[in-house]
Amino acid sequence: MNVAIYSQLLGSQHQPVLEVLFGALQRHKARIWLHPLFAPVFKLWQQSAGLTCSNIDTSASVPNNLDFIIIIGGDGSFLKAISEFEYLHVPFVGINTGRLGFLADISPDDIDTAIDALATGKFLLEQRPLLELQPHIDEIKHPFALNEITVHKCDSSSMIVIHTYIDDKYLATYWADGLIIATPTGSTAYSMSAGGPILSPAAQNIIITPIASHNLTVRPLVIPDNGTIRISIESRELNYMLSLDSTSVVLRTPTEISIRKSAHSISVIKLDGHGFFPTLRNKLMWGADKRN
Ligand code: NAP
C-alpha cells in the first residue's frame, strides 16, 4: 500500500494520533510519502518520541503510484489537500483532528480500523463533484471547488449587485453581501450558515444561496447540476472577493464569471457506518433529545 500523508502544522496534542497512525501503517508495511509541509513536523515528533519508521519518503515530488492520500486535520485541511492533489485522481481519506469533520470523518479512535480497511479494500468510494470557474484566471491557481464558489463584497459596507443567469436565461439580480454557489458537499458549510438547504452528497444539484439579500422574498434555490451559472457583478467600490473553498482573491468590478460542474470529481473513502445520515445525527445533533 502506497500512501501520502498531508497535514498542516500539528501540535504536541496530536502526537497520540501520529503514534497510532504510523503504528498501523507500519504493521501493514505501507510505503509513506510525507507532504513537504508535514515532513519537518514528522521528523521533530519522531526524534522526541524516539521512534524509528521505515519506508518513509520525504522527497519533494509526489510519487506516481499512490493508492490513498491520508489527511490529518479538519475539513479546512481536507479542502487544502484537494486543491493540491485533486489532479492525481487518488482517493482521499480524512482523519479528523479539527472541529466538525464532515469531510475528514474518521475519528482518531477509529484509525486502526480505517488503516485495516484500506489495506484489505473494505471501504466504499464516494464520488464528490467539483465546481469549476470559467474562465480560468491567473489569480486562481486551482480553479475548482469542492464546497462552493462565493462572490462577496469587500472593503466597505456597501452591497454588491449580482445579475444571475442559468444557461443564459436570466434568473434574478441580487442586491446582497454576496452569493454562494455550492455543491451538495458544500451544503453543510457556508451555504448552510446563510440559510441554504442540506443536500445528500448523491444529489445531482447545485445550490444558489444569497448572503443577506436585501429583498424579502429571495430564498436559496436548488438547480440541476448540468447547467452553467453566469454571474455579472457590479460594486460601488469597484472590487469584490472571489472565494473557491478556502482560497480568496480580490478582483475588479464590473466583471462576469461562469460556474459549472467540473468534468472531474474526487473520490472519498467511506468506512462502514460512516454514511451521511450518521454524520448529520452525530455532528449536527439531529434527533438529540435535550428534554430529559
Ligand atoms: P474556517 O472559517 O476556518 O472554517 C470553516 C468551518 O467550516 C470549519 O469548522 C470547517 O470544519 C467547516 N467546514 C468546511 N467544509 C465543510 C463541509 N463541507 N461541511 C461542514 N463543515 C465544513 O475556514 P476553512 O477551514 O478554510 O474552510 C473553508 C470553508 O469555510 C469554505 O469552503 C466555506 O464553506 C466555509 N466558510 C463558512 C463561513 C460561515 O459558515 N459563515 C464563512 C466563510 C467560509 P473543520 O472544523 O472540521 O475544519
Question: Looking at residue 177, which CATH number applies to its domain?
Answer: 2.60.200.30
Q: Does the beta carbon of 74 sit less than 6 angstroms from any atom of ligand 1?
A: yes
Whether residue 288 is contained in a domain is answered as no
Overall domain count for the chain: 2
Q: Of these residues, 57, 75, 167, 225, which one is catalytic?
A: 75
Asked if residue 102 is part of any domain, the answer here is yes
CATH of the domain at 81: 3.40.50.10330
CA–CA dist 75, 89 (Å, integer): 19
- Domain shared by 222 and 277, yes or no: no
Residue nearest to atom 17 of ligand 1 (CA): 189
> In ligand 1, which atom is closest to the CA atom of 185?
18
- Percent of the chain whose predicted confidence (pLDDT) is above 70: 99
> What residues make up the domain containing 44?
2-123+271-283
**Which atom from ligand 1 is nearest to the alpha carbon of 100?**
47
**Does the structure show a pLDDT above 90 at 245?**
yes
Non-local CB neighbours of 61 within 8 Å, separated by 6+ positions: none
Residue 18, classed as helix, strand or coil, is helix
pLDDT in tens, 109-163: 999 999 999 999 999 999 999 999 999 999 999 999 999 999 999 988 899 999 9
DSSP 3-state helix, strand, coil percentages of the chain (rounded to 5)? Answer: 25, 35, 40
Alpha carbon of 58 to ligand 1 centroid (Å): 30
Q: Scanning the structure block, which residue is given the C-alpha cell 464528490?
A: 128
Q: Is 164 in the pocket of ligand 1 (CB under 6 A)?
A: no
Percent of the chain with pLDDT over 90: 80
Q: Which atom of ligand 1 is nearest to the CA of 191?
A: 34
141 shares its domain with 245: yes
For residues 141 and 118, state if they share a domain: no
Q: Tell me, what's the pLDDT at 292?
A: 67
The residue among 49 and 215 whose pLDDT is bigger is: 215
* Cα-Cα end-to-end distance for the chain: 48
Please state the pTM of the whole predicted model: 0.95
Residue with cell 457583478: 233
246/221 Cα distance (integer angstroms): 23
Residue 3 contacts residue 22 (beta carbons within 8 Å): no
Task: Tell me the per-residue pLDDT of 5-56, one tens digit each, with 9 for 90 and over.
Answer: 999 867 777 888 999 999 999 999 999 999 999 999 888 888 887 777 789 9
Residue 116 bears catalytic tag: no
